[in-house]
Chain A
Amino acid sequence: MIAHLTTAVTTAVGAAVTPLTATGGGAGGAEEIVFWIVGPLALLGAIGMLFSKGAVHSALWLVLTMMCLGVLYITQQAEFLGFAQIIVYTGAIMMLFLFVLMLTGRDAGDSVIEVLRGQRVAAGLLGLGLVGLLVAVLMHAVGTLPNVGLTDAIAERGAVGSLAASIFTTYLFPFELTSALLITAAVGAMVLAHVERTKRERRSQKATVLARMRSDRMSPLPGPGVHATSASNATPAMLPDGSIAPGSVSHLVEMAVSEQVARRFREGELVPINGPEHPYRPKRAAIDHEGSAENIVIPAVSAASGGSAGAAHEGSES
């Protein structure tokens, strides 16, 4: 079936390639045309991957390069490898890359901060030097390299058949080892991607209620900074020392209420905040606490004469 597929697509790649795979000599002008179209495209894809800003664009440029490489494999009579390239690389691996890109946020661009000074320039020079070295070696070796072609090697069983024969005889043990490698990789990926969720013991509703009943306070704790005793905006706010914030109640309308609360403080009917207790605790309960008598603050507050005490807290008035 794969042989059918390969012949179908080789004709689809063009009449250019078909005589090449038929003759296999590799001395066709058709192959040259394919190479000079597809090779620059592969280079373009690689350069685009290198210079594009977004990671998704890089991935798509790399897909172009890999497709082109697949076509180049097919023109070199390695049809099976060409299709495996397109299916495995562009179909599976690059899609995996795109999945991870979407998981990590696609706009996570490169940071432009240069950690090592001149590192990019040095890297570019190094790459140029590497390419120059490789190309120089190849130019030097051009004349001595043989060019046999795969025609004789695949004459007996066909392209895929001879590949299979080689894999399942000569390379059988490495082939089996790759299965172990793939299983190890799959297990490793699962271990790395697994998030351990710690099991917390959930308290039942009944236990929560019982615990609250046994505690000092049955009502929920107030929010941070809130000591309101009523929903009225006539209720004055308490300063940290237990006195009344003079600016917290409107002077024009609610003066009487704040003065009323201040009077209750002065008469010792209310105790100031001393710990997490409610500020409006009755005094009888407050006596149980040690030193509550000294802690009573006489608020120097009234709307009219709140100048000196309230000066520090003018900022809270708005």
Chain B
Amino acid sequence: MNPTHYLMLSALLFGIGAVGVLIRRNAIVVFMSIELMLNAVNLSFVTFARMQGNLDGVIIALFVMVVAAAEVVVGLAIIMSIFRSRRSASVDDANLLKY
């Protein structure tokens, strides 16, 4: 099977994630979209590793997973602290530095 299909799927998922980041207003859903983009890139890494016959891509995907876990922990803590002070998880409400 041609592995390009995996890359196409990865591109589609990445695009959907990017659109999600841009159009959703709930900060947590925006965060989920970022996770989706990271996953799409992981799929490309795995596919490239398989195409090149080299394990480096798989290992980089593992590292991406670790970094994503750390990012999620810190990001959700930031969202929680914003929610605590503004009583809202919407990205439009965190606008104190706007003007």
Contact = CB atoms under 8 A, between A and B. Distances in A.
Partners in one complex: yes
Interface of A: 26-29, 31-32, 35, 39, 42-43, 46-47, 49-50, 55, 58-59, 62, 65-66, 69, 72-73, 76-78, 80-81, 84-85, 88-89, 92-93, 96-97, 100-101, 103-105, 108-111, 113, 115, 119-120, 123-124, 126-128, 130-131, 134-135, 138, 141-142, 145-154, 162-163, 166-167, 170-171, 174-175, 178, 181-182, 184-186, 188-189, 192-193, 195
B69 interface: yes
A92 B68 CA distance: 12
Nearest to B17: A46
A123 B14 contact: no
Most buried by A among B1, B15, B81, B88: B1
Contacts of B80: 100, 103-104, 192-193
24 contacts: A32-B1, A35-B5, A43-B9, A43-B12, A43-B13, A43-B16, A50-B24, A72-B9, A72-B46, A76-B3, A85-B42, A97-B31, A100-B28, A111-B25, A126-B19, A135-B8, A135-B11, A141-B4, A142-B4, A147-B51, A175-B63, A178-B67, A186-B73, A188-B73
A153 B55 contact: yes
Contact of A127 (B7, B16, B49, B68): B16
Contact of A104 (B28, B52, B62): B28
Interface string B31-53: 11101100100110011011111
B77 interface: yes
Interface size class of B (residues with CB under 8 A): 35 or more
A106 B54 CA distance: 44
Interface SS of B by simple majority: helix
Contacts of A81: 42, 46, 58, 61-62, 65
Contacts of A78: 46, 49-50, 58, 61
